[in-house]
Amino acid sequence: MTPRKGERPPLPEPLEVSIVDAHTHLDACGAKDSAGVSTVVDRAESVGVTRVITVADDLDSARWAAEASTWDDRVFAAVALHPTRTSTFGDTEKAVLEELAAGERVVAVGETGLDYYWDYSPPDAQQEAFRWHIDLAKRIGKPLMIHDRDAHEDIARILDEEGAPETVVFHCFSGDAEFARRCVDAGYVLSFAGTVTFRNATTLREAASLVPSYQILVETDAPFLTPHPYRGRPNEPYCAAYTLRDLAQVRGENEVELAAAVQANADRVFRLKTVTSSDIGGRAR
C-alpha cells in the first residue's frame, strides 16, 4: 500500500553518533504543550537526534519557543521576527524580543534576514528590522540565525555594513558554490535542511560539498522541507537523520565523522554545553 502524502516518513535507522536539529518549529509540528514537545523530541531522540532548537517567526511563537525551552532539557530556542512579518516592527516588538532573547535557554537571535520571494513586507522594512536584529545579537553576545531567500547580495552587504556578530548561521542555506565560498571565507556557519537531499538541487549540493566540516550544521526546518524520498510529507526533527546521511554521501564523508562534526559545531555555535538540565530541573516527561 502506498503511504498517504499526509503521513510522516518512517523512522530511519538510528545514527551511531547523535546530532542536533539546528532549526525546527515545534509549534508548527503540532507540539502545543509540554507533553506534545516531549512526544516530538522522544521520536527524534530514538533515532539519534537528541536535541533541537525551536525557532520563532513572530511574537507569539517567540513567547512560545522561549517557554517551551524550559519544558524539556533537550529543547533550546531562538527568537526574532521573521522578515515577512516586519511590515509592522516598532518599540513593542523590540521590547518583547529583547526580553526573550536574554533568556538563558534562548541560544540565538533568529530567524531574521531578508525574504524577497514573498511579497509580505517591503524590502526597506525588512532591511531595517534585519539591521536591528544584527545589533541585538551583538549586544547580547548570541549567534545570529539568518533567513535568506532570494536576497544573497543584500544579506552580505548589510552584514558588511553593520559588522557581523561573532557567530552567524545561514539557516537552510540556499546559495550556490560561489556564495558558499564567500560565506565560509567570512567565517559564517552554513546549516543545511532537507533541500540539500533533493535530486534536482545540483547547485546546492555542490555548495554543501565544499563547506569545511567545522562550519556546517544540519537542520529540518520542520514541518517544512522534508528530505528525499519523502518530499511533500510532514517533516519532524527525527528526519534530520535522513539529511545527515544524504549530506555525508554528497560530501564523500563517513556518516559517523560528519555526525560528530555537526554535533560539535552545534555545541560550539550555540554554547549548548553551558545550558544544562539543572537550569530547568531535569527532563520533562
Residue stretches of the annotated binding site for a divalent metal cation: 23, 25, 111, 147, 171, 221
Rounded Cα distance between 192 and 221, Å, is 9
Identify residue 2 by its one-letter amino acid code.
T
Q: Mind giving me the DSSP string for the chain?
A: -PPPTTSPPPPPPPPSS-EEEEEE-TTTTT--SHHHHHHHHHHHHTTTEEEEEEE-SSHHHHHHHHHHTTT-TTEEEEE---GGGTTS--HHHHHHHHHHHTSTTEEEEEEEEEE-SS-SS-HHHHHHHHHHHHHHHHHHT--EEEEEES-HHHHHHHHHHH---S-EEETT----HHHHHHHHHTT-EEEE-GGGG-TT-HHHHHHHHTS-GGGEEE---TTS-PPTTSTTSPP-GGGHHHHHHHHHHHHT--HHHHHHHHHHHHHHHHTGGGS-GGGTTS---
Number of H helices, E strands in the chain: 9, 8
Angle at the Cα of 86 (from 60 to 131), degrees rounded to 5?
110
Instruction: Check if the beta carbon of residue 146 is closer than 8 Å to that of residue 162.
Output: no
Residue positions in the annotated binding site? 23, 25, 111, 147, 171, 221
